[in-house]
Amino acid sequence: MPRKRALTLRELAVTTGLILVIIWLAYLVYGIFHKEEIARQAVNDTRAELSTLDQRRQTLAATVNGLDTDRGKDASVRETYGVAKPGEDVIIVVPKKDAPPPPPPTFWQRVKAALHI
């Protein structure tokens, strides 16, 4: 029957040191994992922003291409400065004014209406 040997102070210190090193390494690995997750999220956000910016670039390119034509330049000047070509009339649309309500009938008007005069 084998005899159990008592742990020496040195073995206990080495074991404790190794356990602390393992815990420290696990903490470092967790930190790296956490930073990797943050970087992955940043990449996804950047890709979404790039997609939005690419769509905006395409829209602006189409607008610029439209402005390269005479018709586009004409439309831009008309829209920006509100001008008309020679011979064109300008139409100004004025919102309809609401007529004020008629004043209430006077006493005599009510009497006439009641008597049908």
State pLDDT tens for residues 31-59.
Answer: 999 999 999 999 999 999 999 999 999 99
Range of the domain at 52: 9-96
Judge whether residue 27 has pLDDT over 90.
yes
Residue 64 contacts residue 70 (beta carbons within 8 Å):
no
Residue 53 lies in a domain: yes
The model's pLDDT over 64-107, given as tens digits with 9 standing for 90+, comes to 888 888 888 888 887 788 777 777 776 777 888 888 888 898 99
What pLDDT band is residue 1 in, cutting at 50, 70 and 90?
Answer: low
Residue 23 lies in a domain: yes
At residue 68, what are phi and psi to the nearest 5 degrees? Answer: -70, -20
At residue 59, what are phi and psi to the nearest 5 degrees? Answer: -65, -45
Residue 83 lies in a domain: yes
pLDDT at 100: 84
pLDDT at 116: 78
pLDDT at 18: 98
Quickly tell me which residue has 């018709």 as its tokens: 71
Number of domains in the chain: 1
Residue 114 lies in a domain: no
Cα 7-12-17 angle, rounded to 5 deg: 160
Q: Tell me how far apart the alpha carbons of residues 76 and 33 are, in angstroms, rounded to a whole number.
A: 54
For the question of whether the overall pTM of this predicted structure is more than 0.75, the answer is no
Residue 101 lies in a domain: no
Residue 30 lies in a domain: yes
